[in-house]
């Protein structure tokens, strides 16, 4: 008498089908969650940049706000100066973090009295949907299309 051990082809196909259905539900949810996490990180990064810029302008009143974003960072071990302030993480100071690119635009005055910083998703719809921006006022604005944030865009509440 012969005894069959193991699974039949039908049973294996059924298990694979169930796994594929679960994956089809889970993967889009994971991607949306990652995109929301990137957007939250971008807003937090803008707040850190704003705080660092104000700290820099208070520390170096004869210069005002820095001329570029890299001035706020510094490679470890870091000793603070007007060209390397050591106020933010050097990765963020290089202009990229968590799926977003950050661009600093100064007013080119000395002492500087204003700046604009934008956070743009590296891949709109994949790494983030919203584009964020801020200036010396500290108010963070966003553009839901991910392509053109200005000081007249919607205010982040």
How far apart are alpha carbons 13 and 7 in whole angstroms? 10
Looking at residue 132, what is its pLDDT? 95
How buried is residue 16: exposed, middle or buried, by Cβ count under 10 Å (0-12/13-18/19+)?
exposed
Mean pLDDT of 34-63: 95
Residue 64 is predicted with a pLDDT of 93
Q: Is the pLDDT of residue 1 over 70?
A: no
Rounded CA-CA distance 97/7 in Å is 48
Q: How confident is the model at residue 54 (pLDDT cuts 50, 70, 90)?
A: very high
Give the angle 62-95-65 at the CA atoms, nearest 5°.
15
Q: Per-residue pLDDT for 147 more than 80? A: no
The string of pLDDT tens digits covering residues 91-104 is: 999 999 999 999 99
For residue 146, pLDDT beyond 80 = no
pLDDT category, 41, cuts 50, 70, 90? very high
- Please give the Cα distance from 138 to 54 (Å, whole number): 9
Q: Which tens digits make up the pLDDT trace of 106-123? A: 998 889 999 999 999 999
116's enclosing H/E stretch is strand 115-121
What does the mean pLDDT of the chain come to? 90
Instruction: Indicate if the pLDDT at residue 32 is higher than 80.
Output: yes
For residue 2, pLDDT beyond 70: no
- What are the backbone angles phi and psi of residue 140, rounded to the nearest 5°? -100, 125
Q: Is the peptide bond before 77 cis (omega within 30 degrees of 0)?
A: yes
């Amino acid at each position: 008498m012969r005894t069959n051990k193991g699974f039949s082809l039908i049973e294996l196909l059924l298990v694979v089908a169930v796994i594929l259905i679960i994956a089809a539900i889970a993967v889009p949810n994971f991607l949306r969650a990652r995109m929301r996490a990137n957007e939250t990180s971008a807003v937090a990064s803008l707040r850190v940049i704003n705080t660092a810029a104000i700290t820099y302008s208070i520390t170096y009143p004869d210069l005002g706000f820095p001329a570029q974003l890299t001035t706020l960072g510094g490679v470890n071990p870091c000793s603070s100066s007007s060209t390397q302030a050591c106020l933010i993480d050097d990765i963020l100071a290089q202009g990229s973090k968590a799926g977003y690119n950050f661009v600093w635009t100064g007013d080119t005055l000395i002492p500087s009295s204003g700046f604009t910083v934008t956070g743009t998703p590296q891949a709109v719809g994949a790494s983030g949907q919203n584009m964020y921006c801020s200036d010396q006022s500290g108010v963070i604005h966003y553009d839901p299309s991910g392509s053109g944030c200005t000081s007249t865009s919607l205010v982040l509440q």
